[in-house]
Amino acid sequence: MFRSRSTRAALAIFLLLILWTNLRSIDLMTATFKQAAFADLITATSRNDGSLPRCEDLTQNPSSPFSNGAFLTSRTTQVVWKLRNDGSRELTLPHTCQLKRYTAQEAGKCLRNKHLLFIGDSLTRYQFLSLAYFLERKRWPPRYQTSGYTPCTQFDEGGQEACSKIDEPNVCCETDWELNGNGGWPAFMQALGGGVDGSLFHGRMEAQSIRVPISIERYEYISSEEDGRTKLSSLSEFFWPKYRPYHGWNLTGCAKTGSCRYSPESYIKNIERDHNSDWDWDYPNIAEAFTTGSQLHTELQDTNYAFYNRGLWGALQIDKAQIMMDALRNMTGGRSEANNRCFFRSTTGCQRTREWALTSMEYNDVRKTSYESGCEYFDIGHVTEEFGGLYGVDSEFKHVFWNDKHYVSLSVV
């Protein structure tokens, strides 16, 4: 995965899904492939001798039994996390296909002029931020949390330190920002939103976000013209109770011009606005916020790929899953649109997932609801299931998590 909660593995698999829809829409593969041609590919997936087909090749023809990419996270697909020299883990599908290691340039080309929407809790936040960082900085966030004032003992394949620095807190590790006077959540959110000089994302990310008891988190990142104008949107979703309001502020559009700034003064002003109930939109709960005709639903109509997850805060009721997946289907067109797709993203394997029996509930109930709505099921819960059995006392735990639910060093790049 990547340096914190949702994984680079999820992003790599996701990019393959996008690649499939792009290739399908422009018909780059010939339509003359015979079904028999795929028999060899299917046979090859039973081997683990270095001759496996590339995963992207299995998805590039509409007549392929692998074309929708569902096999990438299917429960019938064997998953192995290979140990790397620096202690991190690399996702492999040893009896299926070889996953591609995307460069930032390849990812930008694949996602050119696309709009990706991420809705969920902290797992979703860090999946969004990891991808945005990759597109903007041309590298993934560091694999390991800062080691304080002690030397970093983890090194990547190129011999470079794989730890975040004391004065460069990790964009995918909130606790980095709580150490050594880095300013905690306010400084973290301000840095994401441009700070006073453009900061981490060079002014290309807007953060209408504050950390309060009922947190408001809304982000928008738009890559440069040179990098393909990929738009990434993120909205928080932590609780479902009827008494839990869902409110926030409109975006200004600064991400498109690279002019976003979020100074301490602006952050304090937003705190005051929240205290005075001065919001641009306000709904009783997130279900109503995304129903057809709502302001958010209208603003996000250009979404090409939508992902929704909120498992860390308990089981998602089926009626609410139906509302959300119907809304995402209406925004994207779901499977009826060749270039658009919507997914429920299952909850990654961790202690909460195991203790609350989320894996079976999501797979048996939410999965069915997602498909009935015209969306799909992105089963990261299966891909990461083995890590749900690790506890803090396990020696392996620190190589996978930096707390009981957020990932550290799992990777495919």
Please enumerate in sequence order all residues whose Cβ is within 8 A of that of 9, keeping only pairs 6 or more positions apart, or say none.
1, 91, 99, 380, 383, 384, 410, 411, 412
pLDDT tens track for 250-280: 999 999 999 999 999 999 999 999 999 999 9
Q: Where are the domains of the chain?
A: 8-411
- Residue positions counted in the chain: 413
The sign one gets for the Cα dihedral 9, 15, 17, 20 is negative
Contacts of 276 (CB under 8 A, 6+ apart): none
Q: Which residue has the higher pLDDT, 394 or 180?
A: 394
**Mean pLDDT calculated for residue range 307-318:** 86
Average pLDDT over residues 283-287: 85
State how far the Cα of 343 lies from the Cα of 335, in Å rounded to an integer: 10
Q: What integer is the mean pLDDT of 375-393?
A: 90
Q: What is the pLDDT of residues 100-143, one digit of tens each?
A: 889 999 999 999 999 999 999 888 999 999 999 999 999 988 88
CA distance 390 to 170: 24
In this prediction, residues 281-305 reach a mean pLDDT of 89
* Helices and strands counted in the chain (H then E): 15, 12
Mean local confidence (pLDDT), 26-49: 37
SS3 408: coil
Averaged confidence pLDDT in the chain: 83
